Amino acid sequence: MREIIARIESLSHRYHKSWAVKDINWDIPNRGITGLLGSNGAGKSTTMNVLCGALRPTQGNVIIAGINLRKDPQQARREIGFLPQQAPLYIDLSIDEYLRYCAELRLIPPKQINASIEAAKQKCGIAHFSKRLIRNLSGGYRQRVGIAQAIIHRPPLIVLDEPTNGLDPNQILEVRSLIREIAEERAVVFSSHILTEIQTLCKDVVMIEGGQIVFSDTMDAFNNHTGNNTMIVHLEEAPASDQLMQIPGIMQVELLSGNRFRLFTSGERKLAEDIVQASVQHQWRLQEILFEKPSLDEVFAKLSKQQSKFKA
């Protein structure tokens, strides 16, 4: 069982009469990358703001490294690094000036500030630009500076909101590599609207819709959430569709080109075995069985539709 660095307990928050989130319970492991998904208005941003101590919840608690954020907010915030969607950069400062400012904000002891700045720059690959003004950096390097400010005080939990948004493909690959490296020694919560980013980076996934968690499991489980309900079969001696329909578990048959069929199934576990046996019995000369997996967009859409919005 993995160790937990943060725990959200019975979190609920409302704005005026409308609940933004309701009864969120979420354990964050102390290593690796957890993806946070959600449609616009689903409650994702509210949850992140509460987790980072930027918003006091209506109900519930957040425990960071054993510290209750409600009871001891200053101490709990020291255990968190946060990069919002718009990085909080002062573009007229150099990298060194900006990171020194961030280190002082984080109450790093004066004798440790230089070492902390150097460690953050080395980790983020920006040491060679130390004296350059942030306004003269590319988008990718600005994001690196934003990540550097989030890790400068060595917190065990890093929260990144859309860290690859607006970057070109090469910059995205660089930032992905940096995030993976950071996650080797601490927990990272990674929020993105780009499903392929979540798929590429994250081991675990939490999805919020309608203010509630509708999915919390591994990335593999998310990929397979709708089940393998269709398969493609290639039969050299193609039978009539109604013959295939006689196999238990096949609900619908779609004829494709080249003696290939798409079979819509009920999810029977032994269906592939039954198809093989039927092929041998009727001499259909089975060439291939291919299970089709739903796309990430299809899984996301299905989970989104399952959850209705809260009413005041």
Would you write out the chain's pLDDT as a tens digit for each of its 312 residues? 679 999 999 999 999 888 999 999 999 999 999 999 888 788 888 999 999 998 999 999 999 999 999 999 999 999 999 999 888 899 999 999 999 999 999 999 999 999 999 999 999 999 999 999 999 999 899 999 999 999 999 999 999 998 888 888 888 898 999 999 999 999 999 998 778 888 889 989 999 988 999 889 988 788 766 555 788 999 999 899 889 999 988 988 999 888 899 898 876 668 888 999 999 999 999 999 887 766 666 666 666 665 544 444
CB count, 10 Å around CB of 191? 24
Structural domain count, the chain: 2
Residue 42 and residue 144 in one domain: yes
Residue 287, domain CATH: 3.30.70
Please tell me whether residues 271 and 141 are part of one structural domain: no
Residues 81 and 181 placed together within one structural domain of the fold: yes
Q: What is the pTM of this model?
A: 0.76
Domain of 187, CATH number, reads 3.40.50.300
Do residue 183 and residue 114 come from a single domain? Answer: yes
Q: Are 147 and 163 in contact (CB under 8 A)?
A: yes
> Residues 40, 150: one domain?
yes
Same domain, 219 and 256: no
- Assess whether 123 and 172 both reside in one domain: yes
Q: Are residues 152 and 198 in the same domain?
A: yes
197 plus 258 within the same structural domain: no
Statement to judge: residues 130 and 20 lie in one domain: yes
Question: How high is the pLDDT of residue 304?
Answer: 66
Task: At 178, list the tokens.
Answer: 């940096």
At residue 275, the pLDDT reads 92
Asked if residues 204 and 32 have their Cβ atoms less than 8 Å apart, the reply is yes
> Residue 148's pLDDT is what?
96
Give residue 249's region: left, alpha or beta (phi > 0; psi -120 to 50): left
Residue 116 is predicted with a pLDDT of: 97
Whether 196 and 256 map to the same domain: the answer is: no
Give the Cα separation of 172 and 245 in Å (integer). 47
Which helix (DSSP H) or strand (DSSP E) does residue 199 occupy?
Answer: helix 195-201
Range of the domain at 215: 4-223
